[in-house]
């Protein structure tokens, strides 16, 4: 299909985002759906491509954790040697239809959510949320962390998989998003309503899975009940599936991915297909758990900004009054201003997801890189803050913006591709 103008192409991309219909189909070992993970020692990471030596400490820590989990070695020292030697191949999650939170480190035997965008038939994958505290995504790799990952692989994943398979088409995610946004989630900082809605769907099914050991069923229900952010990873995979469907249109300036690897922030725009445009990441600003300050914070990381790309998270700050203070904002009116400002870099609003606290205006739809460059208004991303030392986990939460460079580079590259000469 061809479009006369960039505006037309952008409208088409936005229409695909609106039409996107993600369904959670299954939870499976990553290697069963991502073939690249079967080709030797391979780890997926968040953000645009990066080498191990450039990774910040928490992401290196997550790599160590993954190596121990995969039993490539027995000790941290061995793991680091292996990683430093280049024996482990590193691939961005985004390159294999996946997204990963924070460090985004994903290995062959970790369980991943499988979300299918029924509109375009494409799938996306994301690991499950491990809960809070010392967790792999924030760079922790203690025995406790590895033990939990194994439990997720051996218990959580099979139970959820069995439960999902009882539903013929899988679980309709748009319905959950629409419900939870009315209950005060913005899907990046706050997912408790969606996580509970998810539990509400799954619990009766899990209880009925009588051929699974009751202890396992109880453990899974308890874990889902305890894990407020469980839905975040479902949201990420869903947003990825929808945005990948939309970016099949390879024209226009709509941002189709935003992600960061602790070193670079990368974006993609529809008209430039798979190419990343990067700039140095910023450090988040926000509130810290007691005893920590900005000097302890790691630079921005994770593929979770796919939620903002889709239009939730920081873009929908106004949807979640309960967290507006937590994310370092002054309150309701600051949140309102933030979301209002975000409409100025988007081409429309998404009628599927009306926000009650925004007078039922739909979430932001289609970040236009041109508008970002024109106005200097940057997308606001809600994010967790990792300790800059590996293993110490999350130390706060706040907001961060991409560097303007990514958008400037993307706009210039696309203009040049279309024949612009300076």
Partner 1 sequence: MLHTIIKANSYQDSIVLMLLTNKLNTIDGVHNVSVMMGTPANKDIFKTGGLYTDELEKASSNDMVIVLDIEDDSLIDQVLSEINVFLEEQTKGGGDGAGEEVAKTWDKAFELGKEAGVAVFSIPGTHAALEIERALDEGKHVFCFSDNVAIEDEKRLKEKAHEAGLLLMGPDCGTGIINGIPVAFTNAVRKGKIGVVGASGTGIQEVTTIIHKLGGGVTNAIGTGGRDLKEEIGGITLKDSIMTLEKDPNTEVIVVISKPPAPQVRDEVLNLLRSISKPAVTIFLGEKPDAHEENLYRAYTLEEAAQIAVQLLNKEAVTPRKESLNVPAHTLKPEQKYVKGLYSGGTLAYEAAMLIKEGLHLSEGEHAPEGFILKNQGHEIIDLGDDIYTQGKPHPMIDPTKRKEMLEEVGKDPETAIILLDVVLGYGSHANMAQELAPTIKELKVQAKNQGRELFVIGTVVGTDEDTQDIHEQETIMKEAGVILCDSNAQAVRMALAILEHPLTVEVKEVLPQSAVTPVSIAPSEAMLALLTNQGFINIGLRSFSEAITNHGGKVVQYDWQPIAGGNITLQKALQFLKKVELGK
Considering only 42, 163, 312, 411, the residue that binds partner 1 (CB under 8 A) is 411
Q: Within 10 Å of residue 81's Cβ, how many Cβ atoms?
A: 12
The Cα 405–Cα 174 span in angstroms is 33
Residues in the chain: 422
Closest CB to partner 1 among residues 6, 306 = 6
Q: Is 223 in the site for partner 1 (CB under 8 A)?
A: no
The Cα 378–Cα 381 span in angstroms is 9
| Lookup: tokens for 345 | 């870099």
Q: Is 188 in the site for partner 1 (CB under 8 A)?
A: no
Considering only 344, 351, 356, 360, the residue that binds partner 1 (CB under 8 A) is 344
Min dist CB 327 to partner 1, Å, is 19
Min dist CB 415 to partner 1, Å, is 4
Closest CB to partner 1 among residues 240, 371 = 371
Q: Is 322 in the site for partner 1 (CB under 8 A)?
A: no
Choose one: 170-178, 258-266, 366-374, 392-400; the region binding partner 1 (CB under 8 A): 366-374
Q: Is 248 in the site for partner 1 (CB under 8 A)?
A: no
Closest CB to partner 1 among residues 222, 375 = 375
Closest CB to partner 1 among residues 8, 77 = 8
Find all residues with CB under 8 Å of 300, minimum gap 6, and list them: 260, 262, 265, 281, 282, 283, 284, 381, 383, 400
Q: Is 273 in the site for partner 1 (CB under 8 A)?
A: no
**Phi and psi, residue 75, nearest 5°:** -125, 160
Helix (H, G, I), strand (E, B) or coil at 194: helix
Q: Is 277 in the site for partner 1 (CB under 8 A)?
A: no
The Cα 360–Cα 178 span in angstroms is 11
Q: Is 253 in the site for partner 1 (CB under 8 A)?
A: yes
Strands (E), 67-185: 89-92, 98-99, 111-117, 122-127, 171-172
Q: Is 293 in the site for partner 1 (CB under 8 A)?
A: no
Considering only 9, 14, 156, 177, the residue that binds partner 1 (CB under 8 A) is 9
Q: Is 370 in the site for partner 1 (CB under 8 A)?
A: yes
Q: Give the dihedral sign, CA 160/45/376/323.
A: positive
Min dist CB 47 to partner 1, Å, is 22
Min dist CB 373 to partner 1, Å, is 5
Closest CB to partner 1 among residues 214, 375 = 375
Min dist CB 6 to partner 1, Å, is 6
Q: Is 339 in the site for partner 1 (CB under 8 A)?
A: no
Q: Are 273 and 247 in contact (CB under 8 A)?
A: yes
Q: Are 257 and 98 in contact (CB under 8 A)?
A: no
Chain-centre distance for alpha carbon 71 = 26
Burial of 162 (C-beta count, 10 Å sphere; 0-12/13-18/19+): middle
Q: Is 12 in the site for partner 1 (CB under 8 A)?
A: no
Min dist CB 247 to partner 1, Å, is 16
Q: Is 377 in the site for partner 1 (CB under 8 A)?
A: yes
The Cα 31–Cα 45 span in angstroms is 15
Closest CB to partner 1 among residues 36, 334 = 334
Q: Is 333 in the site for partner 1 (CB under 8 A)?
A: yes
Query: What helix, strand, coil percent values describe the chain, rounded to 5?
Result: 45, 20, 35
Residues that bind partner 1 in the complex, under the rule CB under 8 A = 2-6, 8-9, 251, 253, 333, 340-341, 343-344, 370-371, 373-378, 404, 408, 411-412, 414-415, 418-420, 422
């Amino acid at each position: 299909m061809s479009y006369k103008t960039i505006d037309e192409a952008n409208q088409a991309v936005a229409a695909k985002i609106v039409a996107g219909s993600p369904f959670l189909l299954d939870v499976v070992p990553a290697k069963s759906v991502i073939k690249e993970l079967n080709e030797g020692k391979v780890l997926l990471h968040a953000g645009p491509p990066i080498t191990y030596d450039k990774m910040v400490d928490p992401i290196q820590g997550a790599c160590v954790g993954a190596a121990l989990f995969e039993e490539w070695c027995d000790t941290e020292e061995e793991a680091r040697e292996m990683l430093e030697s280049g024996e482990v191949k590193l691939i961005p999650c985004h390159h294999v239809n996946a997204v990963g939170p924070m460090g985004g480190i994903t290995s062959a035997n970790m369980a991943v959510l499988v979300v299918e965008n029924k509109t375009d038939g494409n799938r996306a994958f994301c690991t499950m949320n491990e809960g809070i505290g010392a967790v792999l995504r924030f760079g922790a790799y203690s025995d406790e962390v590895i033990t939990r990952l194994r439990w997720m692989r051996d218990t959580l994943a099979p139970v959820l998989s069995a439960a999902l398979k009882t539903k013929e088409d899988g679980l309709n995610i748009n319905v959950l998003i629409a419900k939870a946004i009315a209950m005060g989630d913005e899907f990046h900082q706050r997912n408790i309503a969606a996580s509970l809605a998810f539990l509400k769907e799954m619990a009766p099914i899990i209880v009925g899975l009588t051929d699974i050991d009751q202890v396992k069923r109880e453990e899974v229900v308890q874990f889902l009940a305890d894990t407020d952010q469980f839905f975040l990873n479902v949201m990420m995979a869903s947003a990825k599936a929808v945005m990948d469907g939309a970016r099949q249109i390879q024209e226009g300036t709509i941002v189709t991915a935003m992600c960061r690897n602790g070193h670079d922030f990368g974006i993609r725009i529809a008209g430039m297909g798979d190419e990343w445009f990067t700039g140095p990441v910023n450090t988040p600003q926000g509130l810290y758990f007691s005893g920590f300050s900005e000097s302890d914070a790691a630079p921005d990381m994770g593929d979770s900004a796919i939620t903002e790309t889709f239009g939730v998270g920081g873009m929908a700050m106004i949807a979640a009054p309960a967290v507006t203070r937590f994310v370092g904002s002054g309150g309701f009116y600051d949140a309102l201003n933030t979301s209002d400002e975000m409409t100025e870099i988007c081409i429309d609003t998404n009628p599927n997801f009306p926000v009650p606290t925004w007078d039922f205006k739909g979430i932001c739809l289609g970040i236009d890189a041109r508008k970002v460059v024109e106005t200097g208004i940057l997308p606001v991303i809600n994010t967790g803050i990792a300790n800059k030392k590996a293993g110490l986990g999350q130390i706060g939460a706040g907001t961060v913006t991409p560097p303007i460079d990514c958008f400037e580079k993307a706009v210039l590259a696309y203009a040049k591709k279309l024949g612009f000469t300076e």
